Structures are given as C-alpha cells and as structure tokens.
Structure 1
C-alpha cells in the first residue's frame, strides 16, 4: 500500500532523489528555487525530461513558474512533464488537478539493507563490463528500444560520475539476454535499467543479474541498495520482494490533459 504524507521519511526521500539524479544524469539541469528542470534533448526518458520540486514548502508563484518551465520544454520540442514525489508542494498538485492535468505511471522506490541479506559470496558469476558501447548495444537489444537511441543512451551512461558496473548476461547463440546497471554512490547502490529479453523471461535471469550487481556493490562497500519499478509491474515487484526489498516511497508523473 502507498504510504501517506504523514509517515514518509522525507530525509530518506531527499537522499534517494539526490543519488537518483546522479545515477541517471540529465543533459541540462536548471533550478527555479528548489524546482529542478531536467531536459535531455536526445533521450526520451521521463526521468531525464521533467520538472521535480524538491521542497514541499516552495509553493510561491506556482502558475508563473510552471508556465516558464513549459516554455523551456517547448523550446526542446517536448511536452512538459511534472514528476510528483513526497517532496512536491501540495499547492502544485492542487493546481495541476484544477487545470485538468493527468497523473500517470506510478513508480515504487524500493530499498534493501545489504548488510543483512544473504547473498552467495565466492566468485562473481557475472563481472561488470566497463565497455559502454557494448553495454549500450545490449541494453537497446534487451529492452527492444530503437537503435537510433544509441548515441543518447551512451551519453547518459558515460555521464554517470559515481562508480558504475555495467552488467550483461549473454547467450552464446542468442547474444545479450539480460542487462542491469549498478551505480554505487558511497554507501548506496542503485540498480538501473534492469531488463530481461522478452523471450527469456521466467527463467531466473532477472534474479541472477540483480544478485550479481548487488554482490558487486556490497563488495565495494555499499550498505543499502535502491531501485525504482513501475507500480503495475507485478513480476518485477515479486522478484524484488523475494530478495527483501521494501517500499520507501512512490512517485508519479503529470502531463497536461488534452483539453488544457
């Protein structure tokens, strides 16, 4: 069940939001007060192209600031998206509701105490790669993404500043079948872009690659893992629950309705 505003751990939310920005960096980041305007012309990721408010009390001139941000998105040829987290000022949510905006794609942020989970030690089954090009090719193939996104995705991955493990599971005959990206930011490790190829699901590959990434991060000193998964992705939520991940908070996106 989603947590209520009264039982959110806002310091944890702030910290996970900050490491999330570093783990998936936008090309352009501008601030309007505590609002972060994130834009990445070459990549369509919603996390890279949205407005995120980082202080629940920063609600001055909301309408003016929202319109100003919308013009920046328009200049990039994109419709404005607002990412709602527990840090979003309630007046901003109220304004979007009143103006007919649509709330969509709820995402669950999960965390795991790596100091208590029983992960097999010994040698790593899958060592991370440092070859960005190889990883990007595998990521696009496994996700079924447009190959034309390769330069933009390579730019995002190359821009990640904290230590990063690029994990790929390959089949000798079929090529890449699973991918994951693990970003270690001090004692926190973020699992990003985890996917198993559609024709290879339900075979334990997701558990295999996430376990390898978590083991790598823990060996490097990470104490807590985090990841984000769309709330209606039941198979992924079941996998993460099996590992011991628990919900920290949720976020969702808002877009202008067709009548606005």
Structure 2
C-alpha cells in the first residue's frame, strides 16, 4: 500500500505519540528521545521534522546529549526523514544500520463485538502481567512508565479465555491515524486466537474513533507477527531503520 508523503509523515508522528520517551528535547526540529531500558524507539532521535541548516552540527548536539546519558548515538529514519539525504550523512559519519522495522497499514473495519475482549482506557494489572511477561526484563520498568505516559485517545484490549487475559493490545489515536502497540500473548496460550481477538476488537474501536488509517511497526525479522498482520489485511507502507554509532 503506497501512502502519500503527508499520510506517511502523519503515521510516523502517530507512532512517536503512541510510545512517548521519558525524556525528550527538540534539537533543530529533530526529537531527541531518551528513556533507558531496551526500547530502541524511546532511545533514538525521531527525524520526522528538521529545521536546522547544518545536519552534522545537529548530529554533534544529539550525540553529546546521549553521551551525557552514557548511551550511544541512535537515530530512527523512514522514507521522508529530514533532511532527505540523512542516510548518506549518517553512513558518512560512521553510523551503522541496525534493526529494520516495517510500517504496515490498512483501512480499519468494524467487526462484530467479541464478548471475551475487555476494553479500558487504563492498563489493568492483569493486562500488564501479560504484556510485561513477554518482553525482556531490562524493558519492563521503563515500558511500564511509558505506558502510564501515553496520551489519549487510547484503549487497552485484553482477550479472555477461561476467565483470564491471554492476549493484549493497545491502540492510540493521532488525528485520523490509529497505532497498534503492545501485542502480546501468554506463552502457554499461543495459537488459540487471542491475538486475532484483540486485534479485531482494536480495529473496530479505531474505526469507531474515525481513524482512516490503522498502522503498526514490526521487526522485519519477526516472521510470525508479519504472517499474522498480513492475514488481517495489513500491507507494508514503509521501512524504518535504526542507525547506531558507538
């Protein structure tokens, strides 16, 4: 699915909003982000906007900020990053390409209500138990704080099976874009339809909120997740890359 440049920029801004870093600073239009923990997005520079006139000098500024935190320089790019020649500038400065994620999108639809899916504007302890249980330990404390800081409109979804939540997802609205986060399933409950259940409920909610586009970002190496999202009608719209300099 090919998005117009403005649509893709808006979707990228929606992803920035949906996973807010604990510390941010505008650096010549770029958004410097720092949170600690293992989240790449929350510890990298968002390059949607740029209003500087010397990208190398701007890089020096964000690198200095990361050094103060004892962290490496890391930036996130997409097809319409600013400035347009950012990948070449980063390569020339010694940055290496790290993980590639895919931005996948679709037009949201409404599905029949699933009685077994809980919907709330808050992350319940049971929801957190499922989500935090599938991520690495070094991300749990920071991700919990990020979740608390996510602005609305937002909704948390939990698919119940035999009285307990087995799968989770989160949806965050930004203008006419809705973003999916925190898709997780208990290890012992995989393959039971929990993820599809929460995602269908989430898509219905996004449709009801007036979303024109529903999007997510997933690692290009995550074959099972890619298969699930394609099954639900999501199509790749862009590639995002993380750039790292030690």
TM-score tier (shorter): 0.7 to 0.9
Q: Matched residues in 1 for 2:73 and 2:111: separation?
A: 45
Instruction: Flag the 1:214–1:247 CA change in 2: closer, same or farther, 3 A.
Output: same
Alignment TM-score, normalising by the size of structure 1: 0.82
Q: Measure how far apart 1:131 and its partner are.
A: 4.1
Q: Measure how far apart 1:186 and its partner are.
A: 4.1
**Which residue is equivalent to 1:155?**
145
**Which residue is equivalent to 2:101?**
107
Alignment TM-score, normalising by the size of structure 2: 0.86
Aligned CA-pair RMSD: 2.6
Q: Are residue 146 (structure 1) and residue 137 (structure 2) matched?
A: yes
Unaligned runs of 5+ in 2: none
**Which residue is equivalent to 1:87?**
80
Instruction: Flag the 1:243–1:73 CA change in 2: closer, same or farther, 3 A.
Output: same
- Aligned pair count reads 244
Unaligned runs of 5+ in 1: none
**Which residue is equivalent to 1:137?**
129
Q: Matched residues in 1 for 2:190 and 2:112: separation?
A: 25
Q: Measure how far apart 1:171 and its partner are.
A: 4.6
Q: Measure how far apart 1:148 and its partner are.
A: 7.7
Q: Matched residues in 2 for 1:164 and 1:90: separation?
A: 32
**Which residue is equivalent to 1:97?**
91
Does structure 1 retain, via aligned residues, the 8 Å contact 2:155–2:171? yes
Q: Render the CA deviation track for 1:224-260: whole Å, top value 9, x for unaligned.
A: 2111111122221121112111222111101116xxx
Does structure 2 retain, via aligned residues, the 8 Å contact 1:109–1:226? yes
Q: Are residue 21 (structure 1) and residue 16 (structure 2) matched?
A: yes
